[in-house]
Amino acid sequence: MFVIGKEETSFVEVDANSDFPIQNLPYGVFSTSSQEPHVGVAIGKKILDLTRAEQDGFLKGTSGHPLFDQPRLNTFMQAGRQEWTHIRQQVFNHLKSGSDLSNNQELQDQLLVNMEDATLHLPVDVKEFTDFYSSYYHAYNVGSLIRGPENALMDNWKHLPVAYHGRSSSVILSGQDIIRPRGQIKPADSDTPIFSPTQRLDFELEMGFFVGTGNEMGQPIPTSEASDHIFGMVLVNDWSARDVQVWEYRPLGPFLAKNFATSISPWVVTLDALEPFRTSGMTQDPVPMEYLQVEGDQAYDIKLEVHLQSEMMEEPKLIGKSNTTNLYWNISQQLAHHTITGCNTRTGDLMASGTISGEALDARGCLLEMTELGKKPLKLTSTETRKFLEDGDTVTLKGYCQAENYRIGFGEVTSKILPALSMS
C-alpha cells in the first residue's frame, strides 16, 4: 500500500475543495473528440492519460506487459496489489511538485487533458453485482416501518451480512437518465395486480467496491486478506421500484424492482487513498463468527450526501446526509462472507453496501425511510413535496473524506428520471 503524505502537493493546480488532490489519484476511463477511450487518473480539473503515458514509455508496469491498452480498468485491476502500488508511486512521482513532468510543457500538453473536454465512460467491465443490506439504521428503520420496532431486524441480521445477487448488465455510469420502469403492482384496494409504471420510484444512497483479484473456486478469502483483493470504491445509486418489489419479492426477494438500473460514479478511489480515513466502525454484538472477525479499523469515514432537484427548482436541495460509519458490516466482512462457501469472485465484480442511513431523520438514505412509506411527504419548496421520485427529478449523490487541508472525493453520481416508455 502507498499512502501519500498530507503535505504533498501537485504542480497541477488543485482547488482546496477539489475531490481530486494528489493524495487521491482515482482511476477512470475517458475519451476526447480526437481519441478513443483511454485509462486516466484525475488530478484537480485535469486527467493524466495513462494509456498514452504507457505507450510513450513514460509509465511502466513491473511485468513489462501493457496494463492500459484496453478501454477498461480490468487488466490493471487483475495485475494485483503489487502492481497497483507500483503504478500509484509512478503517477505520484510524475504529478508531484518539482517533478520532471512539471518542467516539460510539451509533455504536459501530450499527457494532461482538461476534464471539461473529456467524456467519461464506465471504468470497469462489471462481471457480477451483489447488493448487501449492511447499514444498521437502514435495516432497523425499514423493518420498523414494516414489522414494528420490536421486530425490526430479522433474527439473522446481526449474524451475517445479508445480500442478494443483482444484475451486472444494467450497471450504468453517472449521467445516464433513468427511464421509469413498468411492472406488476398490487394496489392496496385491489385483490389482483395491475401492470403499470412504478409509482414508488426511489434512490438508494450506497457505496460499492470492485474486486481487483478474485479467488479460486473452493478457496474463501479471509477478512485478513480481503483488502488485498479490493481494488477501490465508487458511489452507488441502486434504484428501486418499491411497489413492484412489495408484490414480487415473496419468496425469493427482489427481481424486476431492482434490475432496471444501478448507477455508479466514474472515478474508482483506491483503498490506498482511503487509508488515512480508516476508523473503528460500529460495535458488533453479538461477536461475529470467527470467519467474520476482523482486526484493527476496517471501516472508513466517508461523508455522504443526497441532493434532489425537480424541474421547477433552480438548484438542487440537500435532502440527506449520512456516513459509511453507519455500516454494521464492513467491506472485508462482506467479501469474506461472499466467498466462505468457496464461491469464486472475478476481476470486475461489484459489491454494494446497501442503503446507508444514519440514526437522525436527515441521515436517511432513501425516500422510503425519509417519508416513512410515503406517509410523511418530504418538503422540497414552498409548493413541492415528494413521497417518491417524479418524472423530471434529478438525484445526485456525493461522497468524500475530509482531512485538515484536503479531501478525498468520489465525484458524484447523478441521473434524471424520464417518463415510462409507451407500450403502444
Distance between terminal CA atoms of the chain?
56
Q: Topology of 27-121 in CATH?
A: SH3 type barrels. (2.30.30)
Pairing between β-strand 163-165 and β-strand 129-132 as defined by DSSP bridges:
antiparallel
- pLDDT band, residue 34 (cuts 50/70/90): confident
| Residue 39: per-residue pLDDT | 98
* Sheet of 303-309, strands arranged across: 178-179, 407-418, 394-402, 303-309, 317-323
Residue spans in the chain of domains classed CATH 2.30.30.230? 27-121
Mean pLDDT value of segment 22-36: 96
HEC states along 103-115? Answer: HCHHHHHHHEEEH
**What share of the chain in percent tops pLDDT 90?**
97
Residue ranges matching CATH 3.90.850.10 in the chain: 129-418
Average pLDDT score over residue span 318-343: 98
As a whole number, mean pLDDT of residues 73-95 equals 98
Q: For position 424, what pLDDT does the model report?
A: 66
The per-residue DSSP string of 227-260 comes to HHHEEEEEEEEE-EEHHHHHHH-TTT--STTTSS
Which class does domain 129-418 fall in?
Answer: alpha beta
Q: Is the pLDDT of residue 295 over 80?
A: yes
What pLDDT band is residue 74 in, cutting at 50, 70 and 90? very high
CA gap 59, 68 in Å, rounded: 10
pLDDT for residue 422: 86
Measuring CA to CA, how many Å separate 173 from each of 34, 236, 298, 347?
A: 22, 10, 28, 18
**pLDDT, tens digit (0-9, with 9 covering 90-100), for 122-169:** 999 999 999 999 999 999 999 999 999 999 999 999 999 999 999 999
> pLDDT tens-digit profile of 183-225?
999 999 999 999 999 999 999 999 999 999 999 999 999 999 9
Contact 337, 353 (CB under 8 A): no
Residues 39-55 have a mean pLDDT of 98
Q: In the chain, helix, strand, coil percent, each to 5? A: 25, 30, 50
Mean pLDDT of 288-293: 98
Query: Omega into 286 within 30° of 0, i.e. cis?
Result: yes
Average pLDDT over residues 383-390: 98
8 A C-beta contact, residue 33 and residue 39: no
- Residue 63 is predicted with a pLDDT of 87
Q: Helix, strand, or coil here: 94?
A: helix
Active-site residue set: 138
